[in-house]
Structures are given as C-alpha cells and as structure tokens.
Amino acid sequence: MSHKQARRIAKFIEPLRVEPGSRVDLAEDFDPRYKARLKKREGAELLRTGVGLLAEYQAKLAAQDTYGVLLCLQAIDAGGKDGTIRHVMSGVNPQGVHVSSFKVPSAEELDHDYLWRYAWRLPARGDIAIFNRSHYEEVLVVRVHPENLDRQRLPAEAQGRDVWARRYREINDWERYLCDNGFRVVKIFLNLSEEEQRTRFLKRLDRPEKNWKFSAADLRERERWDDYQHAFGEMLSATSTPWAPWYVVPADRKWFARICAAAVLVHTLMEIDPQYPVVGKKARKELRAAKRLLEQQAPEGAERDPYAAGRRG
C-alpha cells in the first residue's frame, strides 16, 4: 500500500474513533447518517479497494503467524452486523477467519466466569476472529436487564453497584493483556438511528423472505431504546483505550457502514504491517537442492521445470 493510501485511510477513520478518556454522548457526538460527503456510487469502488487490501494483508498475517486480530462488532438489533461481516470479509481466505455469534449464554457458560465463553473463541496467531456480539454484551444487555446478572450467580462480594465499573476495568485489562501478547482488538459499534431501526423492522415484516429475521423480542428491546443508548455511551466512554479504541460507525446507510468497517480493519492490519517470512540462507540452500532433485526426476522428453517453462511462454 502506498503512503498516500495509508494516510487517506487513517484520516477517513479519524472522526469515527472514540478518543480514549473522553466522555461520549452518543446522540450529541455521533451522527448515524454521516457519510463523509461520499456518494453511494463512489462507495462501491472504495469497498472493493478495501476488500482487496484486506485479502492481501490477511494472507501476510497468516504467513507471518505472529499476530492475531479480534474484531468485535456491537450494534442494536437490525444494526447490520451480519451484512457487514458478509461484505467486508467477502475477499478473504475463509481458512483464516472465524466468526462467533454470541447469544443468551448456555447453562455451561453461566457456570463459568463471564469472560470464559469469549476467551474460548479468541483468534490463533495468524487468524482474524470476528465476534458477532461480544464480551461487551456483559455490560449492555446484562446491564439493561439485570436478571441476566442474577443468572450469573456471582458471589455476594462481587455484586453491588460498582459491578459495571469493575467489569469495564476487567475488560480493559483483558484486552491489554491480549494486545501485549500479539492480539489486536478492534472494536466497532454500528450506530443506528431509532427511525432507521423502525424502517428495517418494517422491511422484515413487509417482505416474506425477510419475515424469519423478525422476532417479537426485537420490539420489546426497542422499547428500552434509551436505556441501551445510555449503556452504549457508558461503554464507549469507559472502554475506549489506547490499546483497543472504539470506532463508532454510522450505520443508517449500509453501504457506508461497510466501507467504514473495512477501513478500520485495514488500518489495524496496516499498523501490524505483517510480512511474508524471509527464507534464510540455510533454507534457501535446501530449496535449491529440492529443485535440483525434482528437475532430475523429469521423464524423458519433458521439461526439467515445466512451471518455469510455462512462465517463459
């Protein structure tokens, strides 16, 4: 990637980044309809570029096998998490990407500490893991519906009013530990407006092939809109850190949200700057010996190296 392209991407995502230590007021600070004066037509080309860059970087990340990347996607219902994953990751090698979707915890998951089920699905070195919902549900839905916390059966001394502040600290510490050990945590919040959510729900009701996506629970959650906005604001303020900042992606326009998500991910990979391993002197000697051996095995009349011959034309 050229320096110019790298600078352009860094500048593009700058307004989306939650400054560590700042206090976020979602409604004041981030507009779900922002689109950086782009037109949808220009957007398609940009997304193609982003997807291509991701594929390139992911191949290097896997080859280098030193760093891993965890992408956390959070959003209110109908925020567009699934579509973002589908489009942004459309060009990468599926072998290097793992998507985990987190739902209501199972009995086994509830029998462990709250980060257990997320730790289980962390990326290996060389991999990109995507969390469709993430450990942040533990300070979102669990906060908005405190009965979820009761189900976690915390000991008495771990309950109480400071439980959320403690969870923010624990999550920050956990992410710092991951970062220090070669795993970058990228966090994207898809910021949808209340009116656009209403439209998307209606689309799910109006179109038979989308009916399966609608659940009555979505409407019940919508009634808690303000509580969720508050919980998102608190989460963004408390857990945007220098080692794992949050990006608030405007989500009312799906095409723009996808470009932003791709840009944030490319930017992280750009910073890691993975490289194909360089073959050392000894290994090069072994490669030359292997080549000689294979050339000697050429049948009568065949090219010694059909690949090289093919390339020569």
Binding site for ligand ATP (CB under 6 A): 77, 82, 101-105, 133, 137-138, 141-142, 148, 215
Contacts of 227 (CB under 8 A, 6+ apart): 144
- Residue 54: how many other CB atoms lie within 10 Å: 23
The span of 31-39, 73-81, 277-285, 300-308 binding Mg ion (CB under 5 A) equals 73-81
Q: How far is the CB of 25 from Mg ion (least distance, A)?
A: 26
- Smallest distance, ligand ATP to C-beta of residue 183, A: 21
Q: C-beta of 215: minimal distance to Mg ion in Å?
A: 6
Cα–Cα distance measured from residue 217 to residue 76, given in angstroms and rounded to the nearest whole number:
12
Given the DSSP bridges, would you call strands 246-250 and 183-191 parallel, antiparallel or unpaired? parallel
Both tokens of 235, joined, read 């989460």
Binding mask 162-201 for Mg ion (x = CB under 5 A): ----------------------------------------
User: Smallest gap, in angstroms, from Cβ of residue 231 to ligand ATP?
Assistant: 11
Q: In whole angstroms, how close is the CB of 262 to ligand ATP at the nearest point?
A: 20
- Smallest separation, CB 108 to ligand ATP (Å): 13
**Partner that binds at residue 141, options Mg ion, ligand ATP, none, CB closer than 5 to 8 Å by kind:** ligand ATP
CA atoms within 13 A on the CB side of 34: 18
Residue 132 or 268 with smaller CB distance to Mg ion? 132
Candidate ranges 25-33, 71-79, 118-126, 282-290; the one touching Mg ion (CB under 5 A): 71-79
Choosing among ligand ATP, Mg ion, none, which partner's interface includes residue 104 (Cβ < 5 to 8 Å by kind)? ligand ATP
For Mg ion, which is the closer residue by CB, 197 or 239?
A: 197
Question: For residues 186 and 282, what is the distance between their CA atoms, to the nearest angstrom?
Answer: 38
Instruction: Note the helical H segments in the chain.
Output: 3-13, 26-29, 40-64, 81-88, 107-110, 116-119, 141-144, 147-151, 163-180, 194-206, 216-222, 225-239, 254-272, 281-296, 306-312
Q: Give the contacts of 183 (CB within 8 A, at least 6 positions apart).
A: 67, 68, 69, 70, 122, 123
Rounded Cα–Cα distance for residues 254 and 278 (Å): 40
By a kind-dependent CB cut-off of 5 to 8 A, residue 103 interacts, out of Mg ion, ligand ATP, none, with: ligand ATP
- Residues at the contact surface with Mg ion, assessed by CB under 5 A: 77
